Amino acid sequence: MKAEIRWRGQACYEARSGSGHTVVLDGPPDHGGRNQGPRPMEMLLMGLGGCSAFDVVHILRKARQEVTDCRCEVTAERADAVPAVFTHIHLEFVVTGRALRDKQVSRAVELSAEKYCSASIMLARGGVEVTHGYSVVEDQAPHDGTSDR
């Protein structure tokens, strides 16, 4: 994997992934930014949440669970001193589906945290306390036999 980051002036950067996707990163106005994109540390949290949510949905679908939505809410605390590293990150999954089994959702979150999510495991091994939680929501929408996911 690789990425390229280019300075675009003031506190703005353009990040290009190895697969060709670009994201604008920018700082807050009090640091010379114009708030045109997420902060780099926010991108780290977004990547972590995306990595873990990908695992959870993949595991549940392999277990033939009918997932219709998955949301991962990531909250973090940072050290007060420089470097302001993350000290604690919590991932809270809200998994929606039809007749989802709580045990399967619990197991999917656990497997992501302990075995599959490279980002979560890397941060935890680096000293960040990473915790996980979940809730299951029954999808009340009429079922038409198709899925958009």
User: CA–CA separation, 94 vs 130, rounded Å?
Assistant: 17
The residue length of the chain stands at: 149
| Residue 11 pLDDT > 70 | yes
149 within some domain: no
b vs e for 99-112, b when ≥16 Cβ sit within 10 Å of the residue's Cβ? ebeeebbeebbeeb
pLDDT band at 146 (very low <50, low <70, confident <90, very high): low
pLDDT tens digits for range 85-95? 999 999 999 99
Q: Kindly state whether residues 96 and 30 are assigned to the same domain.
A: no
Share of the chain above pLDDT 90, in %: 93
Same domain, residue pair 11 and 69: no
Could you tell me if residue 146 is inside a domain?
no
Task: Supply the DSSP symbol for 56.
Answer: H
Residues of the domain holding 21: 1-38
Residues 58 and 7: their CA atoms lie apart, in Å, by 36
Looking at the fold, whether 90 and 52 belong to one and the same domain comes out as yes
Residues 61 and 29 in one domain: no
Indicate whether 45 belongs to any domain: yes
Residue 148 has pLDDT above 90, yes or no: no
CATH number at residue 99: 3.30.300.20
Does residue 144 lie in a domain region? no
Overall domain count for the chain? 2
For residue 48, give the H/E element and its range.
helix 40-62
* pLDDT of 141 strictly over 90: no
The CB density around residue 136, as the number of other CB atoms within 10 Å, is: 16
Say which CATH number the domain at 12 has: 2.20.25
Geometric angle at alpha carbon 147, from 43 and 103, rounded to 5°: 70
- Single-letter amino acid code for the residue at 60: L
Asked if 85 and 101 sit in the same domain, the reply is yes
The reply to whether 5 falls in a domain is yes
Across the strands, what pairs with 90?
75, 131
